[in-house]
Amino acid sequence: MEKRNKILNIEQIHTYYGVSHVIQGLSMYIEEQETVSILGRNGVGKTTTLRSIMGLTPPQSGTINIDGIDTSRWQPHKISKIGVAYVPAERHIFPGLTVEENLKLAARPGNGKDAWTFERVCDHFPVLAERTNQDGATLSGGEQQMLAISRALISNPRIIIMDEPSQGLSPLLVQMITDVVLKFCIKSGITMLIVEQNYRMALKVATRHYLMDTKGEIVKVASTRELVDDPEIIQSHLSV
């Protein structure tokens, strides 16, 4: 199998919240057009890892390389501009702005006929098309998650980072969001990093998984096939 470019490469990062040393020496990578998950119990440092990548909680030491560029000390808006989109667990839909305004605020031009535009988003997400003039903050939880993902897509990113996309959603909506990720994000060739408590969703969308223990320690890297064939790995590392 041809080895792909490491579009995201993290080496020995240490990240703090005040004096609390949350991430202690984390290293991991993602190849271009790969979908990877980080699995672990609450509080082990999964979200902090994503915030470190996005420059929201930058590491005090170590390096984060995005497509060969050291972005470890960059501001979030600069990281976004080189093609990294972030879908936080809280979704951060802008209240007082319509669905259309939420989308157009994030829009960036893409290349070719497959670029994500407002019109293309409406074609693929009919529920959002029906609510273009509705305040985005008044949508249901599932609709807000679709809006958050659509807002990431319309920025035409190379990488999408998603934090707990299934959080707070019913099983039916989780399946809907899983389908959205599979059909629109992954099939568009976008590299993806997903943090999930719902390991069943992670197994459906990602091909490789980092199992994280406290302080950001990676205790195992496993393929989806390994985790499906040996559920004991999930049981022992995630206690679910």
Question: Looking at the predicted structure, is the pLDDT value of residue 174 above 50?
Answer: yes
Pick from 77, 67, 79, 125: which is nearest to 99 by CA?
A: 125
Q: What is the CATH number of the domain that holds 175?
A: 3.40.50.300
Rg of the Cα atoms in the chain? 17
Q: Map residue 68 onto helix, strand or coil.
A: coil
Question: Looking at the predicted structure, is the pLDDT value of residue 106 above 90?
Answer: yes
Mean pLDDT of all residues in 131-151: 94
Q: Domain range holding 176?
A: 6-90+161-238
Question: Looking at the predicted structure, is the pLDDT value of residue 169 above 80?
Answer: yes
Q: What is the pLDDT of residue 1?
A: 47
Query: Residue 111: which pLDDT band, with cuts at 50, 70 and 90?
Result: confident
- The overall average pLDDT reported for the chain is 92
Answer yes or no: is 219 within a domain. yes
Question: Looking at the predicted structure, is the pLDDT value of residue 132 above 60?
Answer: yes
Answer yes or no: is 60 within a domain. yes
Answer yes or no: is 132 within a domain. no
Mean pLDDT of all residues in 161-173: 91
Percent of the chain residues past pLDDT 90, beyond the cut: 74
Strand partners, 28: 10
Strand partners, 15: 23
Answer yes or no: is 140 within a domain. no
Answer yes or no: is 145 within a domain. no
Q: 150-154, 167-171, 224-228 — which is least confidently predicted?
A: 167-171
Answer yes or no: is 16 within a domain. yes
Position with higher pLDDT, 202 vs 231: 202
Answer yes or no: is 127 within a domain. no
Around Cβ 90, how many Cβ atoms within 10 Å? 11
Query: Residue 183: which pLDDT band, with cuts at 50, 70 and 90?
Result: confident
Query: Residue 188: which pLDDT band, with cuts at 50, 70 and 90?
Result: confident
Percent of the chain residues past pLDDT 70, beyond the cut: 98
Mean pLDDT of all residues in 10-34: 96
Contacts for 174-183: CB closer than 8 Å, 24+ residues apart: 174/198, 174/201, 176/142, 176/146, 177/142, 177/145, 177/146, 177/149, 177/201, 178/204, 178/205, 180/125, 180/146, 180/149, 181/149, 181/205
Mean pLDDT of all residues in 54-65: 97
d(CA 107, CA 152): 9
Count the domains in the chain: 1
